[in-house]
A = this chain, B = another copy of it.
Amino acid sequence: MRRLAAELDTGASSLYVYVRNTAELHAHVLDDLLGVVRLPSEGVREPWAESIIRILGSYTAVLLEYPGLARSALVTRPSGPNYLALVDRLLSLLRQGRTPDAQAAWGIDLLLLYATSIALEHGTRRQTLGDNQDEDVLATALLEARVGNFPSIEALGDDLLSGTPRTRFAWHLRALLTGIAATPRHRDEEQHQAGSQP
């Protein structure tokens, strides 16, 4: 707020005429930025799953530059036109892939939550750390775990640290899509509005 106000050569308090709080400001900015997430590949003939991965990759790329927005998006789901267009496009791609509607509806949540979280994770990490020794901490912890009481960690070994963030991201999304498509809902999950208690 204060930084934006300074940029606008005014006091922070003036902004509260246009916006109720920081969350609302973030929502507006984010929806604006999402205009860049180009939905189509209209002309391109690629498998629907590839389109989803491409779109979510681009969504993640936007949030990666503004971890603060990713944080807001995680807590308060955006609801601007560009966000809705994104959701709509993803839903249509899932349906195109013959994912049952009920699963597509809940699957969207999973996909966007994943993309947002990954952006928040890597974005703030980039923002704070010197980019390096963070991963090292976990790496050494895992190494030490190998001489410890953690047989499965020991057994998996380097698999746990393998891959680049990019390849991990792609595999994660493919796993999500597979799971969404293949996991039917139970009878007792069908009903009602979502409440507030998780």
Contact with B along A112-138 (1 / 0, CB 8 A): 011011101110111010011011011
Q: With A and B bound together, what is the CA distance between A103 and B175 in angstroms?
A: 9
* A43 at the binding interface (Cβ < 8 Å): no
Of the candidates B85, B113, B186, the one whose C-beta lies within 8 Å of that of A150 is B85
Interface residue count on the A side (C-beta < 8 Å): 91
Nearest CB in chain B to that of A196: its residue = B131
Nearest CB in chain B to that of A139: its residue = B193
Of the candidates B122, B160, B177, the one whose C-beta lies within 8 Å of that of A179 is B177
Q: Do the beta carbons of B188 and A105 come within 8 Å of each other? A: no
* A194 at the binding interface (Cβ < 8 Å): yes
Per DSSP, chain A at the interface is: helix
Of the candidates B118, B142, B178, the one whose C-beta lies within 8 Å of that of A113 is B118
Nearest CB in chain B to that of A153: its residue = B88
Nearest CB in chain B to that of A176: its residue = B179
Contact with B along A130-161 (1 / 0, CB 8 A): 01101101100110010011111101100111
* A40 at the binding interface (Cβ < 8 Å): no
* A16 at the binding interface (Cβ < 8 Å): no
Q: With A and B bound together, what is the CA distance between A22 and B197 in angstroms?
A: 29
Chain B: minimal CB distance from A164 (Å)? 5
